[in-house]
Structure 1
Amino acid sequence: MLKILKYVAAAIAACVPAGAAFAAWELNMPVGVTELSREIHGLHMMVLWVCVLIAVVVFAVIIYSIIAFRRSKHPVPATFDHSTKVEVIWTVIPIAILVGMAIPAAETLIKIEDMRDSELTVKVTGYQWQWHYDYLDEGVSFFSRLDRDSDAARQLNSGIDPNTIDNYLLEVDNRFVVPVDTKVRVLLTSSDVAHAWWVPEFGMKKDAYPGFVNEIWFRADKPGVYRGQCAELCGYDHAFMPVVVEVKSKEEFSAWLQAQQANGTEAAQVADSQADNAAEAAVARAE
């Protein structure tokens, strides 16, 4: 007995590091930080508990029937073939359950597709293997790629331990920045193959197809950094196409937006100056 207890203790001790390693994993879907994500989580839990209750009732009836109506207790089998009352009951109850689940699910599905009253619209285009964000009414756009540290560590024979990289394969060089408590409408498309824009904490995932525009919306009510990935196999570097959304306060977002607009103006001025210089040089050579 003592020897068995030693083996059990050793097994538990071996599982402790594994538990720490899998601390970031969850068996259930996250509640999230948006109104939609919480509603979707609530629907998920409602359906889960309905299924659990049905399973308990069904297995209880099966176990009871096996014990109460075993051959040794009832050697002569029953002679009835059906019961109209029972058939009505087991038809009405499932219909009522399905209707009870369908009504709130339909309400949430309608809300998911309601893009009205959006306060910020951003066009997101998938490329192999990066994202392009275009703030349509703000004059700001940029590409978002896997950050350099993760990209260096993922290379074959890089000699870099991925465990030393913060947010390995889940960090980008330019984050998608949005204001808190703001309805953000995202227009999704692709320049090449099918991609999917997915942020678990927002409860949203939708495909991006070339030549077609999908749309989703979210309203994050908690500042922070939320990470996701491309969720559609899009080529050999599919796993290296993270999505990182940074939710800022409205004041911080306004300051960030002004800085981005200023940088864009400066870049445009530099490009115009370079074009003018090139034109002048061409004229000088022609003379």
Structure 2
Amino acid sequence: MMKRAYAALASMACLLSAGSALAAQPTPWQMDFQPAATQVMEQINWFEDFTLWFIVPITLFVLVLLILVVVKFRASANPVPSKTSHNTLIEIVWTAGPVLILLALAIPSFQLLSLQLNMPQNPDVTIKATATQWQWNYEYEGGESPLSFDSYMLKDADRPAAGKVDLAAYPRLLAVDNEMVVPVGKTVRLLVTAAPTDVIHAFAMPAFGVKIDAVPGRLNETWFKAEAEGMYYGQCSELCGKDHAFMPIGIRVVSEAQYTAWLAAAGNNLGEANKALMASVESGSKAVDVAENVSK
């Protein structure tokens, strides 16, 4: 009985960990944000909920006033209109009320902007993302050997060779041939620009709360710290030409040990390093089969 209980717990843990890797991507009829993978995105989710406590009552209040005016002060019910020119109390209320509401919204919004825009000291990883029509180039800076590679949208014909036939894990029009790989729980400094002769793009990763313009001749800076391993998908979010919709962003968050091994191998052979990393990541799902064998 104890073996069965441990096996069940292990299976549940593996399934939950595997599911988290598939969560950070768009879903059909999605109306809310993607699950937060960083502290910044958690704060964005909180701020959205916070603002709704103001937006919904104000919207309903204005709706009630409109209905009241239409019904009570229509021509047939109010043939002699009021000639009141002002009301001191109403003037004070509709001036002081919005001021207080704006203050209540401004304080947490400034705190959120400060969290987003203030770069942490001594980041663990620095990556430069350069946009061109219509792909991304990633440069890992500060390592023993330079690492730079392009990231294109994965074509259907290339899926078998890349080992990415699973559309749930590698969705169509979002999966890429070479993902940006980062370690979990580490601060990543991201430098974003566009090629000098290109157009404006935007690097957007919804689960991280990251969205920053890639402007030719300008180097913008942002950061993120992913708190959960898995695959995360974003897109270019600035209209950049005819293939704007085919310029996805893929970021794979792995353990520090997996990241170190991948970084050491990627400089010599990126393709083989990616395959070895995928095999290492996917081997974790086999723990479910091991648990099932134990229970038998």
TM-score, normalised with respect to structure 2: 0.71
Corresponding letter in the other structure for 2:152: R
Residue 119 of structure 2 aligns with which residue?
115
Alignment RMSD (CA, Å) = 2.6
Tell me the alpha carbon deviations over residues 79-100 of structure 1, each in whole angstroms, 9 at most, x when there is no partner: 4321111101110010000011
Is 1:225–2:226 an aligned residue pair? Answer: no
Of 221, 245, 248, which aligns to 1:242? Answer: 248
Residue 67 of structure 2 aligns with which residue?
63
Residue 149 of structure 1 aligns with which residue?
156
Distance in structure 1 (CA, Å) of the matches to 2:140 and 2:106 = 36
Residue 203 of structure 1 aligns with which residue?
209
Change (3 A) 1:164 1:99: closer
> For the Cα contact (< 8 Å) 1:143–1:174, is it kept in 2?
yes
Corresponding letter in the other structure for 1:186: L
Secondary structure of the equivalent of 2:227?
Answer: coil
Task: Give, in angstroms, the shift of residue 164 of structure 1.
Answer: 11
Residue 281 of structure 1 aligns with which residue?
none
Residue 173 of structure 2 aligns with which residue?
169
Which has the higher mean CA deviation after the structures are superposed, 171-180 or 109-118?
109-118
Change (3 A) 1:231 1:80: closer
Of 128, 131, 139, which aligns to 1:134? Answer: 139
Residue 285 of structure 2 aligns with which residue?
none
Secondary structure of the equivalent of 2:127?
Answer: strand
Is 1:251–2:228 an aligned residue pair? Answer: no
Corresponding letter in the other structure for 1:81: S
Corresponding letter in the other structure for 1:241: M
> For the Cα contact (< 8 Å) 1:36–1:112, is it kept in 2?
yes
Corresponding letter in the other structure for 2:246: F
Change (3 A) 1:231 1:69: closer
Residue 3 of structure 1 aligns with which residue?
none
Matches within 5 A, 1:94-105: 94-105=98-109
Distance in structure 1 (CA, Å) of the matches to 2:168 and 2:182 = 29
Residue 212 of structure 1 aligns with which residue?
218
Change (3 A) 1:216 1:119: same
Of 184, 188, 212, which aligns to 1:180? Answer: 184
Secondary structure of the equivalent of 2:55?
Answer: helix
> For the Cα contact (< 8 Å) 1:151–1:169, is it kept in 2?
no
Distance in structure 1 (CA, Å) of the matches to 2:248 and 2:29 = 17
> For the Cα contact (< 8 Å) 1:121–1:137, is it kept in 2?
yes
Tell me the alpha carbon deviations over residues 229-284 of structure 1, each in whole angstroms, 9 at most, x when there is no partner: 122222333222211000111221122112224548xxxxxxxxxxxxxxxxxxxx
Distance in structure 1 (CA, Å) of the matches to 2:110 and 2:93 = 26
Task: Give, in angstroms, the shift of residue 65 of structure 1.
Answer: 4.3
Distance in structure 1 (CA, Å) of the matches to 2:27 and 2:249 = 21
Change (3 A) 1:79 1:190: closer
For these two proteins, the number of residue pairs brought into alignment is: 233
Distance in structure 2 (CA, Å) of the matches to 1:127 and 1:203 = 22
Change (3 A) 1:134 1:66: same
Percent identity of the aligned residues? Answer: 39
Structure with the larger RCO, 1 or 2 (CA within 8 Å, 6+ apart): 2
Secondary structure of the equivalent of 2:47?
Answer: helix
Change (3 A) 1:137 1:25: farther
Gaps of 5+ in 1: 1-21, 153-162, 265-287
Corresponding letter in the other structure for 1:61: L
TM-score, normalised with respect to structure 1: 0.73
Task: Give, in angstroms, the shift of residue 57 of structure 1.
Answer: 1.3
Gaps of 5+ in 2: 1-25, 160-166, 271-296
Task: Give, in angstroms, the shift of residue 151 of structure 1.
Answer: 7.4
Change (3 A) 1:170 1:150: farther
Distance in structure 2 (CA, Å) of the matches to 1:235 and 1:43 = 33
Task: Give, in angstroms, the shift of residue 75 of structure 1.
Answer: 5.3
Residue 48 of structure 2 aligns with which residue?
44
Tell me the alpha carbon deviations over residues 182-229 of structure 1, each in whole angstroms, 9 at most, x when there is no partner: 111100111132221111111211111111101111111111101111
